Structure 1
């Protein structure tokens, strides 16, 4: 192959040669082959294959979604103008959820500025101890319970997502080393607890996933098919799949990674330790607690995490947690932290809109139903495994729902699944792979905390353990839920 233009750096050239060009070649072969042979390739299938391939090759998810959407629209016979119009018309739904994420990011950064998480880490460290006394099994289980509780609260009570991990974990690594705790077990606890909480509890991020994304897409896609899903159905449908995740967590802690593992007993120099200690006086502590409570109350009262996070941010600002002139900096930092997720969710809605505009969702459903026949067990298994593959590709369960819904809802109803089973299949299929994807915020957050001293590998110690333990149990229990609900 000839050298690439000099305007590209060596890294860019390597990226283009090994990742982008093969996918473009695959797309050209599929698209051109269908034109030359007259053999029509379903536009939805083509779009999803190209999107997954691009994501697995670590092409930015936003570019992968738009590229695959355009290719699918052209394959279905839409003009470029019609394809872009279909993409734009569906962006509004995703942008509403994206704005919520941005406000949550600002609230999380404001909470971090308060020093509350640093204070919590110091208290835990002091209570558990760092000397030879910190070697008992009771200390190990207490620490795991604390991390599990913090993971749940980060999704449902204090919606800061993974922002607590790089602050809370590094100061505790010395204790974990003395206890000879296998950090792979800790990674599984963090990933499984975070996933379980937002999949089951309808507050915080759970409200976004269950109500704003899952139920909204189910009712929109199912409107013409007679499907109506209410808010109380989502937790009931997701109960068994979540029990599968928790079962995997217990296997990781009590069986797979139960044996002691030795790490170098070095002093951890985490970024938090290098920062000047934050002074949190009584007034600021009370204001922080008040902000958390008011944010939760507003979220429940108005059914809006956006309003709750905004009110919490305002309270922290007026309380002097950070300087008044730093408000823009705090908000911008939160925007940067959540921008990727917000953009992916927004564009994923446009991607789903293009899939619907192609008019080839129903033929795909009909073909799939003909292949599966009346075998619900086979149909449920295929849908779950395909969902696992898709979510692994770009590491975000929230963005997976609008991509899967146009195919999964009609197929589930065609196979005779009940509304509860349909909710379980779509919710589980979209969530599979979130804990275990290399690009997932959950696995990235776990590695950011556990690798503060350079002794925790992202792929071997976070991705592979969480993929095995969070997903295998969920596939089995979600399959059972689909057949029994």
Structure 2
């Protein structure tokens, strides 16, 4: 059995059985290493060498966690909740639903903007979402819907809009790799190739809005305990925390570092008295505890991905699809997409999947007579598949980091499974349709 396939299956099955994701990733990495003949010692060495790749992001999230706790202590969550409560109290029926969907649209807009207009990626989630949990809980919004909303905004822009992170994915990675492997890309419009797959993501979002439309209750006492804040907020404190958030985003954009951005915001909270100086250590430690699970998953996922690459069997898995295809274009498109899904589920990065699959898929697709647009759509979709729904992806870890601050949102069953079902299945169908009609 292919070592990569076995590793991904082990990791996913253990995760679905509610085994801690870190344990599932380690078990999957050991499975891949042993089945590929690397041996236990070499597997552990490769895994240990790979975990450094996730250390910076983990540290960033630890700092963001401390900043998020500081925001909670400012009273901002309660201020927002009270404002929405007054609004909901004055409205009923359609007007109440308008407030709810206005919040959802705002989150979509912010998530999309984080990929291009303000390219901060997932850094906004631990800062913006926790203060909104009180609001969401009072509106009885299903957090699974919010996870799907955030993931849509994180994935769809980079796979369709060639600006910001989309410019990197579509121009620097996708077009560059298909060109390097023999496809002429001169005058090729990448948006014309990817609009059908992007439409599949939109269909998934609409399905999520329908499936998670019913009210869902959360334990308000657990949420309030997680915030650890009194409801005696003032205008000055709220103004200070807004300045702190703007400082965090501004410093990150200027420096390109989430760590520096979070540190700047945290220091503003300290200097303006939102956090008392003698409480600063405790607040930072509480924030690190809150983000510990996300950080450890990110570190472990980097080691898992490194073992997957070291086995050398990702290329074997990709090239092995050609033996099953024959001359059947429809079957070829489906198998290419499924293998892309499997690879991205494992390594958690669509950006890293493209170089792996393009070397095999482009010559194979050319030999089968796919058009240039169809090939770009096929490879681009195969890379993006699995980003939503991977336990180790930023697109799922980010939403969980904001939604689970009170322990009422399970990473696998409330983020990974909903995003997998609502996005990968429509995206698989849309990518296959694009390959066949373009």
Q: Matches of 1:60 and 1:309 in 2, distance apart?
A: 27
Q: Matches of 2:45 and 2:216 in 1, distance apart?
A: 55
Q: Do the aligned partners of residues 312 and 141 (structure 1) sit closer, same or farther apart at CA in structure 2, a change above 3 Å counting?
A: same
Q: Matches of 1:334 and 1:463 in 2, distance apart?
A: 23
Superposed displacement of residue 376, structure 1 = 5.6
Q: Do the aligned partners of residues 322 and 306 (structure 1) sit closer, same or farther apart at CA in structure 2, a change above 3 Å counting?
A: same
Superposed displacement of residue 170, structure 1 = 2.4
Superposed displacement of residue 168, structure 1 = 2.1
Superposed displacement of residue 123, structure 1 = 0.7
- Give secondary structure in 2 for the equivalent of 1:278: coil
- Give secondary structure in 1 for the equivalent of 2:321: helix
8 Å contact from structure 1 (residues 355, 361) kept in 2: yes
Q: Do the aligned partners of residues 235 and 171 (structure 1) sit closer, same or farther apart at CA in structure 2, a change above 3 Å counting?
A: farther
Q: Matches of 1:110 and 1:430 in 2, distance apart?
A: 31
Partner of 1:72: 32
1:230-379 paired onto structure 2 within 5 Å: 241-251=197-207, 253=209, 271-272=223-224, 277-373=230-326, 377-379=330-332
Partner of 1:138: 95
Q: Do the aligned partners of residues 409 and 315 (structure 1) sit closer, same or farther apart at CA in structure 2, a change above 3 Å counting?
A: farther
Superposed displacement of residue 194, structure 1 = 0.9
The RMSD of aligned alpha carbons is 4.7
Name which of 47, 54, 60 aligns with 2:20: 60
Describe the superposition over 1:234-254 as per-residue Cα deviations: whole angstroms up to 9, x where unpaired: 99987655543433333454x
Partner of 1:430: 387
- Give secondary structure in 2 for the equivalent of 1:90: helix
Q: Matches of 2:153 and 2:403 in 1, distance apart?
A: 16
8 Å contact from structure 1 (residues 98, 343) kept in 2: yes
Describe the superposition over 1:428-469 as per-residue Cα deviations: whole angstroms up to 9, x where unpaired: 3221467xxxx97757976999989xxxxx97x998876654
8 Å contact from structure 1 (residues 380, 482) kept in 2: yes
Q: Matches of 2:404 and 2:66 in 1, distance apart?
A: 23
Name which of 76, 87, 93 aligns with 1:116: 76
Q: Do the aligned partners of residues 402 and 105 (structure 1) sit closer, same or farther apart at CA in structure 2, a change above 3 Å counting?
A: farther
8 Å contact from structure 2 (residues 399, 415) kept in 1: no
Q: Do the aligned partners of residues 290 and 192 (structure 1) sit closer, same or farther apart at CA in structure 2, a change above 3 Å counting?
A: same
Partner of 1:37: none
Q: Matches of 2:405 and 2:263 in 1, distance apart?
A: 27
Point out which structure has higher relative CO (alpha carbons under 8 A, 6+ apart): 2
Q: Matches of 1:463 and 1:84 in 2, distance apart?
A: 27
Q: Matches of 2:124 and 2:192 in 1, distance apart?
A: 22
Describe the superposition over 1:144-171 as per-residue Cα deviations: whole angstroms up to 9, x where unpaired: 2224414654784771345345322223
Q: Do the aligned partners of residues 221 and 310 (structure 1) sit closer, same or farther apart at CA in structure 2, a change above 3 Å counting?
A: farther
Superposed displacement of residue 377, structure 1 = 4.5
Q: Matches of 2:352 and 2:17 in 1, distance apart?
A: 19
Superposed displacement of residue 115, structure 1 = 1.6
Superposed displacement of residue 61, structure 1 = 2.2
- Give secondary structure in 1 for the equivalent of 2:92: coil
Partner of 1:163: 130
8 Å contact from structure 1 (residues 196, 245) kept in 2: yes
Q: TM-score when scaled to structure 2?
A: 0.72
Q: Matches of 1:82 and 1:271 in 2, distance apart?
A: 44
What 5-or-longer segments of structure 1 have no aligned partner?
1-40, 174-182, 228-232, 453-457
8 Å contact from structure 2 (residues 144, 418) kept in 1: yes
8 Å contact from structure 2 (residues 22, 300) kept in 1: yes
Q: Matches of 1:343 and 1:272 in 2, distance apart?
A: 25
8 Å contact from structure 2 (residues 333, 378) kept in 1: no
- Give secondary structure in 2 for the equivalent of 1:429: coil
Aligned length: 406
- Give secondary structure in 1 for the equivalent of 2:274: coil
